[in-house]
Structure 1
């Protein structure tokens, strides 16, 4: 993948620059994961200058917030001649599925990133390290750094203390290492039910950082895992697995979002203890935190996204109104637009909320130079050119892309009866209205100048036809085109040749910028007009193959739906309007 723009400096790049300048990682060795100390020290010098990782849990679909992490981790590895791993943190069997694994792989590739280096794929699973996790846990127990606690989860929570009060030691905290080791082996063997006991790190129950008050390393869960089946009934906690995974993969810069900042002391404690015990080789990974993406008018909580899907508020994980990457792709967002958006919002340690319009503008800027143009009429009313012969067809043409005026052209016919947008006619126009009204002159874009002569209404008073006369010597591209100056131009399609299409006019899913602020019910902020379906007419020659996209002139960017559209029955999604309509 090529770089979209010159890298912008940030605090993470400064850290990496300093690490490379000091030679902190230049002599480290590499062995395929899981590589404990013996394997690592037997390996060759790591060919990657740095190693980063994108470590999603496969318990849902990726969303726009993940895109920031993907672009950051893969982008840093690319720019510093390093390697970024795609690692699945599948340590919670109750919520993880192969469906999500495949969806994540699909989306990372769609964004333009790859985890293969010199023919070696660097795709890993935490579940591949379960045996190594367990051996490390036994080493911690034998060294007195961990113990088996028989308190219930509620009891542990009650004795953990508060931000202002220290915790209380477990009655099992000082049990002999040999006894804890036997109990841990019984836990692994499935001899105890869920919740009967847990393995805890022995650190400091009076620590001002609650994360260091003897955190749980293993809990009992008699649940099948999507990859290991029933081979295990104890599973590592994320805070314990995360640093170990990084070390086993030789990660140099472990980049997380700010909510993990308080976990960093435990991250360091785990790696330091295992290094002292000879289980891990130096240099050890280091964790750095950056501000997560907070985007207005969306929710990115996996729980809330799942609720929207399960309760039927949207039509699946790839619903074009969702901020999932699958939904954004189906909506018509391009990988380049999302990468551009991530570049523009930058990387910092300060939390902020980005307005959704910034994402939309990135899309416009990405698509404008490359999108094919076409005409669509979404709210049609018939325009009759009364002095145009009924059996006559006149060919017209326009550039496929105005940024390439000498490039390909599209052809379409002008006939006596046309479809125009209903909003392009006013019987009694407001001030500064320059389109069709009785007596006014406008240009049919790529065609002739016409003079409006009136309209026809039905019994309810609705306009059903607009009438006009064309001026024969004013066709676009001819010497007479500029003979008559007009202030307005309107788009049109031939009524005889137009293609019928279903257009889904998607808008923001929520009416409020912060739909899940505080304790409010985010479902109450759903926008009832987030999807309107209209029957429209398309310029002839517009082939609505799934995934084909256009800029419909004067309307915005649209894409043929990946699931529902066919050439014979076009179903087209509005991606974004030509300008922000929410200001």
Structure 2
């Protein structure tokens, strides 16, 4: 079930630190509980919530797109020649540094976001509106005009257009993360953990009977090229996904970067796939 005392699913100090807990958060948690001779069974939520408050202000922001079902969005008036712009890794923390963001005519978005666009398009057709305006994070607005689906209803391709230069940026209901279609994207494995046992407390029952066989989920994804610079133990936030810690850094294209999801105090076990 686990690989050792430092397995990220195991409730040892080594395990929870490997999963992304800062020692300062553990110290703060201990001090807040105070000294007592009584044994207390406590939830993990408070500890991880303290940890979130420590890592959130300083964590660099990056982008990842789940590979399964990802959709190509072609912007007809997008840049014919890709260009790079430096963007802060954390707009509220200058010391996080900057990252190179490449802008291209063709970009990847996730299937769930493509479906949200398709749903909005279906509504807009009833209102005689021909396109859906979306917001591409760190870029701006775009209008999606054409949607292609397969026989199962999955979106397979999108086509759209950028607004004219000088247009006023509009607030939209659909804000998307995206990645450029370039060879330099980082291969990722996103790992989510559930609880090792199915009960909060083991009392006079066989440990084997309460083991949770579905306590780990791995998701193949693509990440922005800047993530190839991550080192083991680096903590980051993936936009619209949550906080992660790098367990295995980048070495070569055939070996993905492994990122462990860090609980934020609202953890639920990963859903079965």
Q: TM bucket by the smaller chain?
A: 0.7 to 0.9
Q: 2:23 aligns with which of 335, 339, 351?
A: 335
Q: 1:463 to 1:540 in 2, by over 3 A?
A: same
Higher CA-based Rg:
1
Q: 1:486 to 1:327 in 2, by over 3 A?
A: same
Partner of 1:519: 204
Conserved in 1, the CA contact under 8 Å of 2:136 and 2:176?
Answer: yes
Partner of 2:88: 399
- C-alpha distance in structure 1 between counterparts of 2:159 and 2:265, whole Å: 31
Aligned residues: 255
Q: 1:538 aligns with which of 213, 223, 231?
A: 223
Q: 1:406 to 1:371 in 2, by over 3 A?
A: closer
- C-alpha distance in structure 2 between counterparts of 1:573 and 1:511, whole Å: 25
Matches within 5 A, 1:194-205: none
1:317-369 Cα shifts (integer Å, max 9, x gaps): 21111111221222222212222222333333444322111121122111112
Q: 1:317 to 1:460 in 2, by over 3 A?
A: same
Instruction: Kindly indicate which of the two structures has a greater share of residues assigned to helix.
Output: 1
Q: 1:453 to 1:465 in 2, by over 3 A?
A: same
Is the counterpart of residue 384 in structure 1 residue 73 in structure 2?
Answer: yes
Q: 1:510 aligns with which of 197, 208, 231?
A: 197
Q: 1:420 to 1:525 in 2, by over 3 A?
A: farther
Displacement of 1:578 in angstroms is 5.2
Is the counterpart of residue 549 in structure 1 residue 235 in structure 2?
Answer: yes
Displacement of 1:533 in angstroms is 1.2
Q: 1:344 aligns with which of 32, 42, 45?
A: 32
Partner of 1:321: 9
- Structure 2 length as normaliser, TM-score? 0.80
Is the counterpart of residue 412 in structure 1 residue 85 in structure 2?
Answer: no
Query: Can you give the 5+ residue segments of structure 1 that lack an aligned partner in the other structure?
Result: 1-312, 430-437, 474-478
- C-alpha distance in structure 1 between counterparts of 2:218 and 2:258, whole Å: 10
- C-alpha distance in structure 2 between counterparts of 1:554 and 1:448, whole Å: 17
Conserved in 1, the CA contact under 8 Å of 2:76 and 2:159?
Answer: no
- Structure 1 length as normaliser, TM-score? 0.40
1:137-194 Cα shifts (integer Å, max 9, x gaps): xxxxxxxxxxxxxxxxxxxxxxxxxxxxxxxxxxxxxxxxxxxxxxxxxxxxxxxxxx
**SS in structure 1 opposite 2:27?**
helix
**SS in structure 2 opposite 1:316?**
coil
Conserved in 1, the CA contact under 8 Å of 2:188 and 2:259?
Answer: no
- C-alpha distance in structure 1 between counterparts of 2:53 and 2:10, whole Å: 21
Matches within 5 A, 1:29-48: none
Q: 1:565 to 1:524 in 2, by over 3 A?
A: farther
Partner of 1:279: none
- C-alpha distance in structure 2 between counterparts of 1:575 and 1:481, whole Å: 37
- C-alpha distance in structure 2 between counterparts of 1:374 and 1:337, whole Å: 23
Q: 1:470 aligns with which of 154, 162, 165?
A: 162
**SS in structure 2 opposite 1:402?**
coil
Query: Can you give the 5+ residue segments of structure 2 that lack an aligned partner in the other structure?
Result: 121-129
Matches within 5 A, 1:108-123: none
Q: 1:494 to 1:452 in 2, by over 3 A?
A: same
Q: 1:449 to 1:338 in 2, by over 3 A?
A: same
Partner of 1:493: 179
1:57-77 Cα shifts (integer Å, max 9, x gaps): xxxxxxxxxxxxxxxxxxxxx
1:213-233 Cα shifts (integer Å, max 9, x gaps): xxxxxxxxxxxxxxxxxxxxx
Q: 1:369 to 1:339 in 2, by over 3 A?
A: same
